[in-house]
Amino acid sequence: MGETAIAVKNVSKMYKLYSKPSDRLKESLGLSRMKKYVEHYALNHMSFEVKKGETVGLIGTNGSGKSTMLKIITGILNPTEGKVEIEGRISALLELGAGFNMEYTGLENVYLNGTMNGFKREEIDERLDEILKFADIGEFIHQPVKTYSSGMFVRLAFAVAINIDPEILIVDEALSVGDVFFQAKCYKKFEEFKQQGRTILFVSHDLGSVSKYCDRVILLNKGEKVMEGEPKPVIDAYKKLLVHQFGITRKAEPAKEEVSEKRSSWKEGLNNNPDCLEYGNGEAHIIDYALLDEKGLITNSIGKGEPFTIKFKIAFQKDIINPIFAFTIKDLRGTEITGTNTMFEHIYVDNAAAGSTKTVSFTQKMNLQGGEYLLSLGCTGYSGDEFEVYHRLYDVCNITVVSDKNSVGFYDMDSEIKIS
């Protein structure tokens, strides 16, 4: 294979889907001449290569075939068609702890797992101190793993998998295990692997990590490879795929406003919260909303440091004097991180007549750290001296901030550093 560590050649994986268990039994016994199943291709004629020393990302929506592909590469599954060629020792961080015996102690499982990966006891002895230091679970290493917390379990499983000196590392969402300090340790080990020139195949929904660590990215959709190349254009294509805009071509690029207005409903292009809390007195309603990236595309994913727009449309059932439009961004714990409204910004809003609509846009730079946030929208105002809530939508959709550089806290000071 020369400089190629992983070669995937025309690989397909087909599953037979039966409407009821008796159909499967009849077919297995040869009692039915008719086909009783529907063919489902988790992978359909997939081909790609990973060069030695390269870090390649696999991204795609749920059900795109990422995990199936990794399981075939690591030998957990056999392909229906095609073949995979591997050159080098593989360590796979797929289903952490899958080979553990729950009745054994942590230490016994270290040796069991190491043996399953082809190591002699003497070789495991040489790596034991590093494994135990990395897992950092103290005296629990001598207790049965069935007594472990979920955090301790994944720490030990990760420590074993990462320290068996692989030439090829397969990672499937495994860098998100444990607390923030353990995650930092995992990423440091990941960077060490890159610096040592190891081959890494990396699957993650964390687009910031994919952008930061990967030399090349492959985009999968419904079991097929749709694109591969440098991280940024492939990640941009993935964002379009999420809102069903991938592959759409236009004769001319319309203005941002035109792109948005052509949709029958902007919110259809977002990942919306089915349990959104809404309330108000009904005198106005937020009838549509959108989150737009710097290209004017409707998306839940915004790049850190990039301009973006929060936009929503309000329909008025009654005459309202000087309505106030607002948004708030919270973290997943419900802490309000930031937000503003037209009154804070000293924007005067004309009176709204019954039967009319208004559209408001808030455009700003995304300075939040990479991660997940929740967006809330509101239309309020004053009736005399009384504050009125006409309509509020709490946690209406998520905002994923994609970042390859996070600092401390909620937002980035964007510091300019000089050293003399």
Q: What is the pLDDT of residues 224-250, one digit of tens each?
A: 999 999 988 888 788 777 756 566 543
d(CA 339, CA 93): 39
pLDDT band at 405 (very low <50, low <70, confident <90, very high): confident
**Has residue 300 got a pLDDT over 50?**
yes
Confirm whether 50 is domain-assigned: no
What tens digit of pLDDT does each residue of 318-356 get? 999 999 999 999 988 778 899 999 999 999 999 999 999
Mean pLDDT of 194-203: 88
**Has residue 254 got a pLDDT over 70?**
no
Provide, rounded to the nearest whole percent, the portion of the chain with pLDDT above 90.
49
d(CA 85, CA 73): 8
* Residue 259, pLDDT score: 40
Mean pLDDT of 107-122: 85
Confirm whether 72 is domain-assigned: no
User: Computed from CA positions of residues 32, 33, 34, 40, in that sequence, does the dihedral angle turn out positive or negative?
Assistant: positive
Contacts 24+ apart (CB under 8 A), 334-339: 337/368, 337/373, 337/410, 337/411, 338/368, 338/410, 338/411, 339/376
- DSSP code per residue over 86-128: E-S-EEEESSTTTT--TTSBHHHHHHHHHHHTT--HHHHHHHH
Mean pLDDT of 5-32: 83
* Residue 346, pLDDT score: 95
Mean pLDDT of 111-137: 87
Of 73, 67, 66, give the one whose Cα is nearest residue 87. Answer: 73
Confirm whether 75 is domain-assigned: no
**Has residue 256 got a pLDDT over 60?**
no
Confirm whether 134 is domain-assigned: no
Mean pLDDT of 270-296: 93
* Residue 52, pLDDT score: 93
Of 134, 101, 103, give the one whose Cα is nearest residue 115. Answer: 101
- pTM value surpassing 0.75: no
Number of domains in the chain: 1
Confirm whether 187 is domain-assigned: no
What tens digit of pLDDT does each residue of 136-176 get? 899 999 999 999 887 788 788 888 877 877 888 888 765 55
**Has residue 47 got a pLDDT over 70?**
yes
Mean pLDDT of 184-212: 81
User: Computed from CA positions of residues 327, 329, 332, 335, in that sequence, does the dihedral angle turn out positive or negative?
Assistant: negative
Q: Which residues contact 40 (CB under 8 A, 6 or more apart)?
A: 14, 15, 16, 17
pLDDT band at 204 (very low <50, low <70, confident <90, very high): confident
* Residue 247, pLDDT score: 64
Mean pLDDT of 18-46: 80
Q: How many CA atoms lie within 13 A of 343 on its CB side?
A: 11
d(CA 395, CA 273): 7
Confirm whether 299 is domain-assigned: yes
* Residue 301, pLDDT score: 93
* 8 Å CB contact between 71 and 77: yes
Confirm whether 164 is domain-assigned: no
337 φ, ψ to 5°?
A: -90, -45
Helix (H, G, I), strand (E, B) or coil at 214: coil
d(CA 249, CA 113): 51
* Residue 251, pLDDT score: 38
**Has residue 374 got a pLDDT over 90?**
yes
* 8 Å CB contact between 294 and 329: no
Query: Tell me, what amino acid is at 23?
Result: D
What tens digit of pLDDT does each residue of 48-105 get? 999 999 999 999 988 899 989 998 998 889 999 999 999 988 877 766 556 688 899 9
Of 139, 180, 173, give the one whose Cα is nearest residue 156. Answer: 139
**Which CATH number is 378's domain given?**
2.70.50.60
d(CA 357, CA 285): 9
Question: Residue 374 is part of which domain span?
Answer: 256-402
Q: Which residues contact 305 (CB under 8 A, 6 or more apart)?
A: 365, 366, 367, 403, 412, 414
What tens digit of pLDDT does each residue of 89-109 get? 887 776 655 668 889 999 998
* Residue 239, pLDDT score: 74
Q: How many CA atoms lie within 13 A of 106 on its CB side?
A: 24
**Has residue 279 got a pLDDT over 90?**
no
pLDDT band at 275 (very low <50, low <70, confident <90, very high): confident
* Residue 400, pLDDT score: 92
What are the tokens at 228? Answer: 């591969």
* Exposed/middle/buried for residue 382 (C-beta within 10 Å: 0-12, 13-18, 19+): middle
d(CA 401, CA 301): 6
Mean pLDDT of the chain: 86
Residue count of the chain: 420
* 8 Å CB contact between 134 and 163: yes
Confirm whether 78 is domain-assigned: no
